[in-house]
């Protein structure tokens, strides 16, 4: 038996689940798990269906489902396959280290095809784990040329997602628009608090008692894209900004790991500037 996922989003209406399951039954697909959610404010229906069975033509199944759904429907039939990702970095190693170790031991749920850095700090580490590292200098060229060089490298791989693992450069709208909802960033604060640079310094000066990390999809609005996962940790008046940053590194790794797991397993729907996550 083949396993596959069916992802559907459409306008909500009476009889949707019955109609969907009827089509799946006609294709001799057995439903293993089905999660659904209705966003009542937008009148939108979302479902993730795990099935077993054999589908000879996925496009035909998608078209049959689209015919019985309401307007503006999206249907994706996902055959089980490992996804490919690229990782963009600057100098900090903790998030990259977690990704590459799990990639090495085949527990990431994806293959890291390459690492691209705007400094060479992490080159030796990546290559020790047999992952190609490409250095793209941001200091000897303008942003357009810098991003074009990165894009040329990424284009040589068939990528599903790009992960910004502490990549401390702001990407242009033209770059982001080439990868809609495909760029995942780890931001070192509990968004929407402390957007932009030096969030731990901002948190220290504000005297907060909780710091956090946020994994989100990248959009043209800095650190305001749809949030995938967040975590927090308690701090107190004895923590300075450096100690907050140290405490934050562990949750940064954990949040990015959790977000990637959810995205790579096709558990995340993007609806406007929000996500629906079927955990």
Catalytic member of 140, 160, 223, 266: 223
Rg of the chain (C-alpha set)? 21
Alpha-carbon gap, residue 86 to 158, rounded angstroms: 10
> What do you get for the CA distance between the two ends of the chain, in Å?
24
Collapsed DSSP state (helix, strand, coil) of residue 87: strand
Alpha-carbon gap, residue 38 to 13, rounded angstroms: 10
In sequence order, what DSSP letters do the residues of 180-228 get, joined into one string?
TTTEEEEESS-TTSS-SS-HHHHHHHHT-SEEEEEEEE--SSTT-SPEE
At which residue do the structure tokens 């068939």 appear?
Answer: 158
Asked if 200 and 188 touch (Cβ cutoff 8 Å), the reply is: yes
Residue 35: name the closest of 63, 78, 5, 70 by CA: 5
Collapsed DSSP state (helix, strand, coil) of residue 248: helix
Phi–psi pair at 133, nearest 5 degrees: -120, 130
Measure Cα distances from 19 to 7, 26, 77 in Å.
15, 11, 16
Measure Cα distances from 159 to 54, 86, 114, 163, 183 in Å.
26, 7, 10, 11, 11
Q: Is 223 a catalytic residue?
A: yes
Which helix (H) or strand (E) segment holds residue 111: the answer is strand 110-117
Residues with catalytic function:
223
């Amino acid at each position: 038996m083949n396993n596959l996922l069916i992802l559907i989003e459409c306008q909500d209406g009476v009889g949707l689940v019955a109609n969907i399951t009827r089509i799946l039954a006609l294709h001799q697909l057995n439903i293993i798990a089905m999660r659904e959610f209705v966003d009542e404010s937008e009148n939108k229906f979302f479902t993730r269906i795990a099935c077993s069975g054999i589908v000879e033509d996925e496009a035909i199944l998608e078209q049959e489902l689209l015919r019985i759904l309401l307007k503006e429907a999206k249907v994706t039939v996902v055959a089980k396959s490992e996804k490919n990702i690229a990782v963009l970095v600057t100098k900090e190693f903790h998030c990259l280290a977690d990704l590459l170790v799990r990639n090495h031991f085949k527990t990431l749920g994806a293959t890291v095809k390459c690492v691209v850095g705007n400094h060479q700090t992490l080159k030796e580490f990546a290559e020790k784990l047999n992952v190609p590292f490409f250095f793209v200098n941001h200091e000897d060229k303008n942003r357009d040329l810098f991003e074009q060089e990165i894009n040329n490298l990424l284009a040589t791989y068939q990528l599903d997602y790009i992960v910004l693992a502490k990549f401390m450069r702001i990407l242009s709208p033209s770059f982001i628009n080439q990868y809609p909802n495909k760029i995942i960033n780890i931001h070192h604060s509990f968004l929407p608090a402390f957007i932009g640079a030096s969030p731990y310094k901002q948190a220290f000066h504000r005297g907060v008692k909780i710091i956090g990390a946020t994994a989100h999809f990248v959009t043209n609005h800095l650190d305001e894209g749809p949030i995938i996962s967040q975590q927090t940790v308690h701090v107190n008046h004895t923590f300075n900004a450096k100690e907050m940053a140290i405490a934050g590194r562990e949750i940064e790794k954990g949040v990015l790991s959790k977000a990637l797991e959810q995205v790579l397993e096709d558990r995340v729907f993007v609806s406007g500037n929000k996500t629906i996550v079927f955990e």
